[in-house]
Chains A and B, each alone.
Chain A
Amino acid sequence: MTQTSTTPKHPLAIRWFHWLNFPILSLMIWSGMIIYWANDAYFQFPEWFYEKAHLSFRLAEGMSYHFMLMWLFAVNGILYVSYTLISGEWRELIPGRDALSQAFQVVLHDLGIRKEPLPPAKFNAAQQIAYTGVVLMGLGSLLSGLAIYRPIQLSFLTALFGGYSNARFIHFLLTIGYVGFFGMHIVQVIRAGWANFQAMVTGHE
């Protein structure tokens, strides 16, 4: 930590969007779980889990939290995407034509099978796919969320997701997807080491 790190990596705006999204999305998942408890149609978490996590019998609260935080989640996401578009940061983030095969090389590398170093880039192909994918998931959550929030007045959206029940199921699946993303993200951040993590706080690596 004593070395002077001066290579700029993440702009201030990106760091704010990232770190705001973390508590907001966590609280969205938490309040979503409170809502899900009232009709746990797709997967039944064990009773002790609902109780230990204080998720039971709080539907009204859960809906209230969810319908408050949805604004922050949406606005933060829209600002993030707009920023990447305007700043040109999107060029680093959108997967290129060979992204899939390159991402496969990244997986081989991360598993220690491929020994040669990866080509230098701000984000490797696997990261590009993950970070672009999770933003598309966010869009999916926003739209499927609206589809179950106002299923009659926004019936075109509800129809797009295959009806009310399907839209609710997709909304749930996307949440499971975030949990998966989060798990992999933490593993990779630990593997990448301190300087990489520091860059998301200070902006410099």
Chain B
Amino acid sequence: MLNIIELERRWFRYKIKSYIPHTIIILSIITISLVMLSFLSNDKTVQFTKVAIPEEPSIGIDNNKPEIQKPIIHNHLPIIVEPTVEKKQEKKIVVIEPNIIIKPTNTRSRVQLSPSLDFMRKMQNSMQPYYSHENTNVQRAYAPQVEVVKQEQQRVYDAQQTDVENISDIEEVVPVAKKISIKRQNTQNDIFEIIKRFKKNNNPALSLFVAKKYYELGNYQQAYNYALLTNGINEDIESSWIIFSKSLVKLGKKKKAITVLRKYIKQSHSSGAKILLDEIRSGKFR
């Protein structure tokens, strides 16, 4: 006679044993699926974030640490932002004039300004006094509450390129819906303001700008002086040496200019300096 109860117990144990591998496989599949799903959902979130944030650099202004990543540059007038303007990456130095008064009207501490490339098109149409731009992808917390009024000019130096040509005036910086009116002034007061600032912070970009400005105005002696100052602060700025040499030529010190350029070329192998040296030698540059 068979012991059914014992046999059933053994059968039950056998069934449990036989289900263990299946259970493990199913649980593994579920776990793997969940992990995959979570990864996929994370990827979607990242993609969404990427879409939400535009690739264009934005201008962020903080009450304590205002910031401009890509200022709008226009017509040799300096750029504007108060109290300190920083450029990320290439643009190391921003010359700031107290041209814009930012009056935050709320208690928030951050403003994000988005630059628009539309200004490139609008630059061609200089009749248009200002523009407004709204970037829907960037959340501008301060935009409606910030009023920016340009009162004076601001100047920005590209310290890496140290090219005065890149320093332009900005007519307008308009965050979102608010209008900014920028008046263009082209007087020598710019130079004095920059000299004032240079005396404060001894920034070679400022002195180089002054040298270039004086050179443009035909004041070669002052251009020579400020280029000399610039070289004294930072001897690796090519355009400073070029202005220095050009000023020397203009002041009738051609030989000295050639000597200076030779020494500089020997040290830095600057192609710009070589071209200038050739031009001075050949008499193209007088």
**Same complex:** no
